[in-house]
Chains A and B, each alone.
Chain A
Amino acid sequence: MPGVILLKNGRVIDPANGIDQILDVLIADGRISAVAQPGSLPEQMEGIVYDVQGKWVVPGLIDMHVHLREPGQEYKETIATGTRAAAAGGFTAVAAMPNTRPVNDNQTVTLFILAKAAEAGFARVYPVGAISSGSNGEHLAEFGELRQAGAVAVTDDGLPVGNSQLMRRALEYAGDHDLLVISHAEEMTLSHGGAMNDGPLATRLGLRGIPHVAEEIMVYRDLALAEFTRRPIHIAHVSTRESLALIRRAKEKGVTVTAETAPHYFTLTETAVDGYNTLAKMNPPLRTEADVAAVREALRDGTLDAIATDHAPHAELDKDIEFDLAANGIIGLETAVPLTLQLVRENQLDARRMVELLSVNPARILGVPGGTLSVGAAADITVIDPEMKFVFSRESILSKSRNSPFLGWELQGKAVLTLLDGRITWRQDGDFSS
């Protein structure tokens, strides 16, 4: 049974309750038992007291898009290593994409993932099922059983649903089982064989480009299908300016669409791949300055609802090869907080918006608990030191893979304490006093 913890003097940012002030938070029996003026709560004799002055106390962060690789590619990541990295990054919950081996297209795989997650105990894992059996784009997966087993959404992520009729049916049928449909938007005949953003840099490097329209055409199709079927849709990893314009327009029209982006799309441009840096190779690819600016704007104005990492671990043998053969994707769980805080420091976002993007909204979109510090809620809490500086080094990484373009960067801001059901899943060594 988790004991009593008192978090004293922290800046409590709880947008769901309209709170942003210095408060004490008391945790008992795995739940939030009180949120009160500093010093007003009795210090329990048997409890732990953390003075978190200067730090932020926020609802546990939720990453709605990660690849945990288990079952099937445990050499890249396991549910245990991935969720440990999540906890270290300040996340108390993650949504696990279905492109494992085998694909999570049935209840057996879903139950396996949940069992492994419970055994590891580092974070809540919300399995996302496949839209099509084997994610091969032909037949609908068994949504009903996936839902019963614990899946919260469906997607063929890693691949788009190329067949428009299948996507329409998925949207319709997902409604019967209260599952969110997540779109990996990519028009494959345009992106086929591409290794980076299409444009002058791809020409100079002699690499085949993925034009931004490959994403936008599919975003448009899925928005049109969502409107037509009157079903909600969530667009994953939005990377282009025009995709955001399409989503903005659909929201204005009342289409039930939500959308996420990843920290790399508001931090890096395609120039990160220059020199054939496979650590910056991903799908969708890194784009241009104009796209980065549009992503930042969309995070501010509400066109984007969530920041998710698309944490995609790959081993060296998948990355240390010819650029166009290298695997797509980067790890992201341990860099999301500092990279998002950078936007706060640059006055692109305020702290409240950051918490909405990383906790409140993902919980709402997925229809899962969390995203609040309400009294009585499960004590999933992240304490962030917004000032802490560190160099993101290979040695510091808890994920099993180290494929990050941010290696060697000096980052600022870090989760120093992560609580799941009132249990400590991560505590930063060093200055953190108790």
Chain B
Amino acid sequence: MDPEYRFSHKHVLGLADLSAEDIRTVLQTAESFKEISSRSIKKVPTLRGKTIINFFFEPSTRTRLSFEVAAKRMSADTFNISSSGSSTVKGETLIDTARNLAAMNPDCIILRHPRSGSARLLADHINASVINAGDGTHEHPSQGLLDLMTVREAKGRIAGLKIAIIGDIAHSRVAHSNIIGFSKMGATVTVCGPATLIPPGIEELGAQVSRTVIEAVEGADVIMALRIQKERQQDPLFPSLREYAKFFGVSQKVVDAASPDAIIMHPGPINRGVELDPQLADGSRSVILEQVTNGVAVRMALIYLIMGGD
């Protein structure tokens, strides 16, 4: 590593903005924080006196909890502000709300929002650091980083691996962050899903596109199934969940086509029997619970690094 190197981002809005070196630093930091989580006293005083706001415009207990636990383990003060639906409905815009939050002098805002670009918008209008906890169909960088961490842990490396991502690539911020992150770290990423769910130009993010799931997972070291959002059914994207499961679900037959020691991942929550066979989700190749554990460590690392930890 370059001895001059320092993680120098004020915000983490997407993996597109991070260099391979930045990503390595986050992963190394997260690995050292993971040890804290295994202690009996799971708390360090690193961020005592710092204020972190979890600002969630979309319901997401998992991600919010993960960030909250991460902040608390470093002794930061955390506040949760949720708004089901958009508060724009009430006539208050994201910027209005952000200006009100600014009165609390937060050091960091964790934002989850249904609109792509909202994290950038917030970052442009507030002094605090912003971590994007998922903006629309754009990026979900902490999820991408925890997936990278989980793969590195399981496989000992990322470069040279073959990653297959199966499902709704078009509407998945997780897929976007993973394609960017894994290809930046030297892995090969192949995506597959119904043609209606493969967006134009996904190759430019670093992914190859396969026509069939079997072809996509051939020799893969990692199989990642993405959640099919049932509310997307109103668009004519695929005929039924039943047919989706039959042609694009990750089944034992799919796993058999992958590398013999391939691991199975899913960002959760899982529609069991749709995108992923229930037995595989709970089986020995699944690292889905590891993903959750690593989520806390990665989020501790992100908060620590952007708040000037050294």
Cβ–Cβ contact A322 & B200, under 8 A:
no
Asked if A204 and B201 sit within 8 Å, CB to CB, the answer is yes
- Whether A199 touches B121, Cβ cut-off 8 Å, given contacts A206-B137, A325-B88, is no
What chain A residues lie within 8 Å of B95 (beta carbons)?
320-321
Contact with A along B82-101 (1 / 0, CB 8 A): 00000010000111000000
Task: Say yes or no: is B245 at the interface (Cβ < 8 Å to chain A).
Answer: no
Report the separation of the CA atoms of residues A205 and B173 in the bound assembly, to the nearest whole angstrom. Answer: 10
A322 and B201: CB pair below 8 A?
no
Chain B residues whose C-beta falls within 8 Å of the C-beta of A112 in the assembled complex = none
| A202: Cβ under 8 A from any B Cβ | yes
For window 296-321 of chain A, which residues contact chain B by CB distance below 8 Å?
A: 317, 320-321
CA distance A159 to B200 in the complex (A): 26
| B204 proximal to A (CB < 8 A) | yes
Answer whether A204 and B204 are a contact pair too, CB < 8 Å, given A321-B94, A321-B95, A322-B115. Answer: yes
Q: Are B93 and A203 in touch, CB under 8 angstroms? A: no
Which residues of A sit under 8 angstroms from B115, Cβ to Cβ? 322-325
Q: Any chain A CB within 8 A of the CB of B266?
A: no
B138 contacts partner chain A, Cβ-Cβ < 8 Å? yes
CB-nearest residue of chain B to A322: B115
Quick check: B121 and A322 within 8 Å, CB to CB? yes
Residue on B nearest A273 in the bound complex, by CB? B117
Q: Contacts A320-B95, A321-B93, A325-B88; is A203 near B204 (CB within 8 Å)?
A: yes
Q: Does A173 contact B (CB under 8 A)?
A: no
- Interface flags for A195-223 (1: CB within 8 Å of B; 0: not) read 00011111111111100000000000000
Check if B306 is an interface residue, CB within 8 A of chain A: no
Contact of A324 with B116 in the complex, beta carbons under 8 Å: yes
Which residues of chain B are near A325, meaning CB under 8 Å?
88, 115
Question: Across the interface, which residues of A come within 8 angstroms of B88, CB to CB?
Answer: 321, 325
The verdict on B24 contacting chain A, using a C-beta distance below 8 Å, is no
Chain A residue numbers with a CB within 8 Å of B137 are 206-208
A392 within 8 A of B: no
B270 CB–A CB distance under 8 Å: no
In the complex, whether A50 has a CB less than 8 A from a CB of chain B is no
Give Cα A208 to B235, complex, Å: 13
**Within 8 Å of chain A (Cβ to Cβ): is B136?**
yes
A200–B138 alpha-carbon span in the complex (Å): 12
Name the residue on A nearest B202 (C-beta). A203
Contact in complex: A322, B199 (CB < 8 Å)? no
Q: Which residues of B are found within 8 Å of A201, using beta-carbon distances?
A: 201
Distance to closest chain B CB from A159 (angstroms) = 21
Task: Report how far A130 CA is from B170 CA in the complex, Å.
Answer: 37
B139 contacts A by Cβ under 8 Å:
yes
A276, B117: Cβ atoms under 8 Å? yes
Please pick, from A198, A317, A321, A323, the residue contacting B200 in the complex, using a CB distance under 8 A: A198
**A205-B138, A206-B135 known; A322 vs B117 contact (CB < 8 Å):** yes
Among A204, A207, A276, the residue within 8 A (CB) of B16 is A204
* Residues on A with beta carbons closer than 8 Å to the beta carbon of B285: none
Q: Chain B residues near A207 (CB, 8 Å)?
A: 116-117, 136-138
User: CA A283 – CA B120 in complex, angstroms?
Assistant: 23
The reply on B129 being an interface residue by CB < 8 A is: no
The A35-94 residues at the B interface (CB cut-off 8 A) are: none
Bitwise, B183-208 to A at CB < 8 A (1) or not (0) is 00000000000000001111111000
Residue of B nearest to A204 (CB): B205
Contact assessment for A206 and B121 in the assembled complex, using a CB-CB cutoff below 8 Å:
no
Contact B94 A206 (CB under 8 A): no
B100 CB to closest chain A CB (Å) equals: 16
A206 to B135, CA, bound (A): 9
Q: Is B118 at the interface (CB under 8 A from chain A)?
A: yes
Q: What is the CA–CA distance of A209 and B139 in the complex, to the nearest angstrom?
A: 17
Contact between A202 and B120 (Cβ–Cβ < 8 Å)?
Answer: no
Task: Select which of A199, A206, A208, A323 is within 8 A of B139 by beta carbon.
Answer: A206
Q: Which residues of B contact A254 (CB under 8 A)?
A: none
The answer to whether residues A206 and B200 also contact, given A323-B116, A324-B115 and a CB cut-off of 8 A, is no
A430 interfacial by beta-carbon distance below 8 Å: no
A275 in the interface, Cβ–Cβ < 8 Å? yes
Query: Who on chain B is nearest to A195 by CB?
Result: B116
Of A202, A204, A209, most B-chain CB atoms within 10 Å? A204
| A206/B136 in contact, CB under 8 A | yes
Give the CA-CA distance A275 to B123 in the complex, in Å: 12
Contact indicator A203/B116 (Cβ below 8 Å):
no
Determine whether B176 belongs to the interface, using a CB cutoff of 8 Å to chain A.
yes
> Min CB distance, B132 to chain A, in Å?
11
Give the Cβ gap from B120 to chain A, nearest Cβ, in Å. 6
Pair B118/A206 contact, Cβ less than 8 Å: no
Once A206-B139, A324-B115, A325-B88 are accepted as A-B contacts, the answer to whether A275 and B201 lie under 8 Å apart by CB is no
Question: Closest B-chain residue to A316, C-beta based?
Answer: B95
Q: Which of B115, B176, B205 has the most chain A CB within a 10 Å cutoff?
A: B115
Q: A200 to B116, Cβ gap below 8 A?
A: no
Set of chain B residues within 8 Å of A203, measured between Cβ atoms: 170, 199-202, 204-205
A206–B116 alpha-carbon span in the complex (Å): 6
Q: What is the bound-complex CA distance between A323 and B114, given in angstroms? A: 11
Q: Considering the chains assembled together, what is the distance between the CA atoms of A324 and B114 in angstroms?
A: 10
Query: Chain B contacts of A317 at CB under 8 A?
Result: 93
Shortest A235–chain B CB gap in Å is 25
Q: In the bound complex, do residue A323 and residue B201 qualify as a contact, i.e. CB atoms below 8 Å apart? A: no
Please give the distance in Å from A29's CB to the nearest CB on chain B: 54
Establish whether residues A200 and B201, one from each chain, have CB atoms under 8 Å apart when the complex forms: yes
The one of A200, A205, A208, A209 in contact with B117, judged by C-beta atoms closer than 8 angstroms, is: A205
Q: Which residues of chain B are within 8 angstroms of A324 by Cβ–Cβ distance? A: 115-117, 136
CB distance from B204 to the nearest CB of A (A): 4
**Residue-by-residue, is A312-349 near B (CB-CB < 8 Å gives 1, otherwise 0)?**
00000100111111000000000000000000000000
CA distance A317 to B96 in the complex (A): 10
Assess the B93–A275 pair: CB atoms within 8 A: no
Q: Which of A199, A209, A275 is in CB contact (< 8 Å) with B120?
A: A275
**What is the chain B residue whose CB lies nearest that of A192?**
B235
Q: List 9 A-B contacts (CB under 8 A).
A: A203-B201, A204-B205, A321-B95, A322-B94, A322-B117, A322-B118, A324-B115, A324-B116, A324-B117
Can you name 9 extra interface pairs (CB under 8 A) apart from A322-B117, A324-B115? A199-B201, A201-B201, A204-B204, A204-B205, A206-B176, A321-B93, A321-B94, A324-B116, A324-B136
Interface residues in chain A, defined as those with a beta carbon under 8 Å from any beta carbon in chain B? 198-209, 275-276, 317, 320-325
